[in-house]
Amino acid sequence: MNIRSLEPTVVWNHFEDLNNVPRPSKKEERVIAFMKEFGESNGLSTYVDPAGNVIIKKPASTGMENRQTVILQSHLDMVHQKNSDTDFDFNTQGINMLIDGDWVTADGTTLGADNGMGVAAIMSLLVSKDVSHPALEALFTIDEETGMTGAFELEKNILDGTILLNLDTEDDDEFSIGCAGGIDTNTSYDYQPVNTNDSDSAFEISVTGLKGGHSGMDIHLERGNANKIMNRLVASLEKFDVRISSIDGGSLRNAIPRESFAKIVVDNKNIADKLNEEIQVIKHEFSISDANLAVSFKEVSTPENSMSIADTKKVIQSIRAVQNGVYKMSMAIAGLVETSSSLARVIVGNGSFQTQSLQRSSVESSKTDIAKTVGSSFLMIGANVEHTGSYPGWAPNPNSEILEIMVPLYKEMYNDQPRVQACHAGLECGILNERYPGLDMISFGPTIKNPHSPDEKVHIGSVKKFWELLLEVLVRIPKKN
């Protein structure tokens, strides 16, 4: 069986068409052109705003003209992550998809189900001939994963809808009615490289095999952070006068870092016992959350220069001190992470030590507090700290009209109660609510596991369930006021 023969075929075919188009964040030109051609070729009103968002409008089907207009929203970009041993160019290649039992996954890369399944479902509605629906306004935003630029720059007078269905939630039994806001903390520290000695030895250390994942939705799972683990390994060698020559840890700001690679200089070669001891301790700690964690090291030729011992200690202590993981659980919603931080990127080399981290919170004041807390770890060594890309959360509305429609509908269709909750991820709903105050919003979608990592997969049966629910929701959209 191939992807295009899966049910519902209309959705899976659009998903495969979409996944044949390279669509990294900040480089969405090809997918914008693809969506524009899609809308126009189907005779639909199609508009690309100055930011690059694509808006496609479709009139109501016969008999549904008196219903409220619905905005269907998903983002076009996808997180690009691959395993280090996977030969793949996201800028030129389409995603290689595979069927693995009840799941669809990709061959060593992210799948793009986040948020490609939502995009594909909306495309399927736009081309439908026999689906009952009110007037639809499809909003395909750009750059959601690296700054939500599309949502921030969306024109204020282009949409008329009163209900917004965001199709970017990742459990098919969950309705999201709120989300966390976020802010980036970027730090930089310049150091003067020092020359190494002929008697020095150098080693490369590799941390690989971690699960990684979404730094919001997966942060509570206590998965290993490659940057923090690498720092522990380097710190264990302090008695050998360890000096950092280079570090390249993590990849994307919104993904839990899975890999880190470092080159260090020490004053003798006899570090194996100490490193192996620390490796065993760390692997034991993460034996449940990250059973495939792999740490290796090997001796290499000594580089011409490295950090000084003093600067190396500053790096070690700042990374050791920085908050990483869950910071606070919500007191308002049971089981919800309120505030967190993820140390996503650590780069050392050429006289510069840089970090990137992402703080999230459903409480604006707590978001500011955790960002300042993280920044202080680096301010204490004299680093420059910059907070950028702040975006608001989405406050839950328990009296939402669309929620009151969807909860009993779900129970009617599946003889079960959906989970209604806020999520610890950055949905665009908070920003869109600022652009269009008063929108009645809800988010739902199929089951997607391990987004933002090469282990990303979408459950086949849940796509069918999600599609059937979406069709029925549209039939029950209330009349215009």
Distances (CA, A) of 416 to 172, 174, 410, 447, 477: 12, 11, 7, 16, 21
Mean pLDDT of the chain: 95
Query: Angle, to 10 degrees, between the axis of helix 113-127 and the axis of helix 9-19?
Result: 120
Catalytic pick among 16, 77, 171, 428: 77
Q: Is 156 exposed, middle or buried (0-12, 13-18, 19+ CB in 10 A)?
A: exposed
How many residues are there in the chain? Answer: 481
CATH numbers and ranges of domains, the chain: 3-180+393-475 (3.40.630.10), 183-391 (3.30.70.360)
Would you state the pLDDT for residue 90? 94
- Share of residues in the chain with pLDDT > 70 (%): 100
- Is the pLDDT at 243 greater than 90, yes or no? yes
Check: CB of residue 362 under 8 Å from CB of residue 338. yes
Average pLDDT score over residue span 319-343: 93
DSSP conformation class of 479? B
Cα–Cα distance, 330 to 335 (Å, whole number): 7
Cα–Cα distance, 46 to 54 (Å, whole number): 7
Q: What is the pTM of this model?
A: 0.78
**Is position 468 annotated as part of the catalytic site?**
no
Pick the more confident residue, 302 or 332.
Answer: 302
Check: CB of residue 391 under 8 Å from CB of residue 145. no
- Is the pLDDT at 331 greater than 90, yes or no? no
- Is the pLDDT at 179 greater than 80, yes or no? yes
Secondary structure class of 133 (helix, strand, coil): coil
**Full DSSP string of 397-462:** -TT-HHHHHHHHHHHHHHSSPPEEEEESS--THHHHHHHSTT-EEEE----EESTTSTT-EEEHHH
Would you state the pLDDT for residue 7? 97
Catalytic pick among 28, 114, 144, 290: 144
Residues 364-382: pLDDT tens digits?
999 999 999 999 999 999 9
**Is position 290 annotated as part of the catalytic site?**
no
Query: Angle, to 10 degrees, between the axis of helix 460-475 and the axis of helix 113-127?
Result: 50
pLDDT band at residue 387, thresholds of 50, 70 and 90? very high
Would you state the pLDDT for residue 104? 98
Give the residues across from 260 on adjacent strands: 207, 249
Strands, sheet with 163-166, edge to edge from the N-terminal-most edge strand:
45-48, 54-58, 136-141, 70-75, 163-166, 440-443, 174-179, 419-423
pLDDT band at residue 161, thresholds of 50, 70 and 90? very high
Residue with tokens 């996944």: 19
Residues 281-327: pLDDT tens digits?
999 999 999 999 999 999 999 999 999 999 999 999 999 999 999 99
Q: Is 365 exposed, middle or buried (0-12, 13-18, 19+ CB in 10 A)?
A: exposed
Give the residues across from 360 on adjacent strands: 182, 340
pLDDT band at residue 395, thresholds of 50, 70 and 90? confident
Residues 410-448: pLDDT tens digits?
999 999 999 998 889 888 999 999 899 999 999 999 999
